[in-house]
Amino acid sequence: MSTPDLLLRIDGVERPGADGETFAVTDPFSGEEVARVAVATPADVDDAVTAARRAFDDRRWRGVPARERARVLNRAAGLLADRIDELAALETRQIGRPLREMRAQLRRLPEWLEYFGAVAQTAEGTVPDFGADHLNVVRRVPLGVAGLITPWNHPLLITMKKLSVALAAGNSVVLKPSELGPVVPALLVGLLEDAGLPAGVANVVHGFGAVTGRALSEHPGLAKVDVTGGTETGRAIAAHAGRSLIPVTAELGGKAPVVVFDDVDLDAAVGGALFASFVATGQTCVQGARVLVAASAYERFVEAFVARAGALRLGDPKDSATQIGPLVSEAQRAKAVEAVERAVEQGATVLTGGATPDDPALQRGWFYPPTVVGDISSSMDLWREEVFGPVAVVRPFVDEDDAVRLANDAQFGLAASVWTNDLGRALRVTERLDVGIVWVNDHHRIDPASPWGGFKDSGIGSENGLEAYRGYTKAQSVIMNSRPPGTDWFATSEDLRYS
């Protein structure tokens, strides 16, 4: 059996899986094989967790001063910046997202290493008032071994969001990337070791969720699980981790509303909604899947929105003229097709798109056109269920109360955007939205300093910012008596103060 292109990385050593099994990563545009990848068995996962735990226990990384850890992360940021074009091209081949989008996204990623390196250096404990003759120092210490389970839609970005903060805080990790996009996340770990990360601190296992992912998420040696994926997967992982008292951060599904009021510039709102709905071919958890428009502007908005959506250019994602690439897989396209067909059966109307393209140039890839659906009601599946494809619904609202009611009418609560020129309205509406991330006159913007997490079925905890850093540490309270040896409790029968 030939050696796969992408091996497991355990304790700094690349190796095949224990049983020699491999799987192929294929280009969703051309169908060509991008890489053949080694599959990790549960025994391999156990080896990876054991290696990470050994690295944590011997303090080869957590024992390094925060300033030196930051230097390693900053060196890695420089190495990453030098390889952005190469890695963006690999990302495009893995998942089919247009190269122009991948370059724009990956150019931001060194910032995560730089930011969390700075946080590690400036993080401070506290000194609560404990009373006379005692000093209480509370310090933050790393958790241990974190299991990181990342998705295919933003392979390197989401890996970076988890890995940068976990390492900055002094933890060891085992990373399990999606089987649809594992190549670039695995390269990031090698790059970190080139920058000075000790071997064994970050380990990589590949495989499918049902075996490799489950073996990692249920491993008793973990101190934390951090997962981005589907809501049902997140529920299962959180339930198991809860039984083991392991903390979980989970960024899960979404059905983000884009709320457009009639005081905003129409062209700007249409352009913003178009970006929200169809960037990354709609394959993002904060996709603007429900476009809600003030009734007084609804017809004008929908006419312009539908015209622009229908004119978006599908094609080879490596071509800089391409605006919409293929979906990541046949299964993902089938899900979009089925969701739209079911909506039509339930009474909705397709305003543009809604059928696989018949252009001969688009037959090789898993293409589905930007699709806008109207005549939608809250009882329809398409209103509530995440498609994870280029499908958006449009619906009018009457006033602010109606807009908020419709925006909150979902089991998800990850993100929303509000489009208005009225500052008071923006403040009123954003305060009432039951979501974790709200943009005003923008959508899908991110920064390493800005917390990213959802409410309701969209997850637990936050990525990014000081919230994430605290989530990768735990509080240790040290109480020192400044007048030893203290009270001899059992040497007297007098009333004593227990404090």
Q: Catalogue the active-site residues.
A: 251
Give me the residue label for tokens 């890839």: 365
Distance (Å, whole) CA 435 – CA 458: 9
Distance (Å, whole) CA 148 – CA 150: 6
- Contact between residue 118 and residue 128 where contact means Cβ atoms under 8 Å apart: no
Q: Which two tokens stand for residue 137?
A: 């120092």
Give me the residue label for tokens 């476009």: 291
Q: Which two tokens stand for residue 499?
A: 């404090």
- Contact between residue 109 and residue 80 where contact means Cβ atoms under 8 Å apart: yes
- Contact between residue 304 and residue 293 where contact means Cβ atoms under 8 Å apart: no
Q: Which amino acid is at 450?
A: S
Distance (Å, whole) CA 230 – CA 488: 57
- Contact between residue 352 and residue 312 where contact means Cβ atoms under 8 Å apart: no
- Contact between residue 225 and residue 176 where contact means Cβ atoms under 8 Å apart: no
DSSP letter for 312, please: P
End-to-end CA gap in the chain: 68
Q: 220: cis peptide before it, omega within 30°?
A: no
Strand partners, 257: 290
* CB neighbour burial string for 173-207, b if at least 16 within 10 angstroms, e if fewer: bbbbbbbbbbbbbbbbbbbbbebebbebbbbbbbb
Distance (Å, whole) CA 284 – CA 287: 5
Q: Name the 3-class secondary structure at 138.
A: strand
Give the number of other Cβ atoms within 10 Å of residue 399's Cβ: 11
The count of residues in the chain is 499
CB under 8 Å to 429, separation ≥6 — which residues?
A: 259, 400, 403, 404, 418, 420
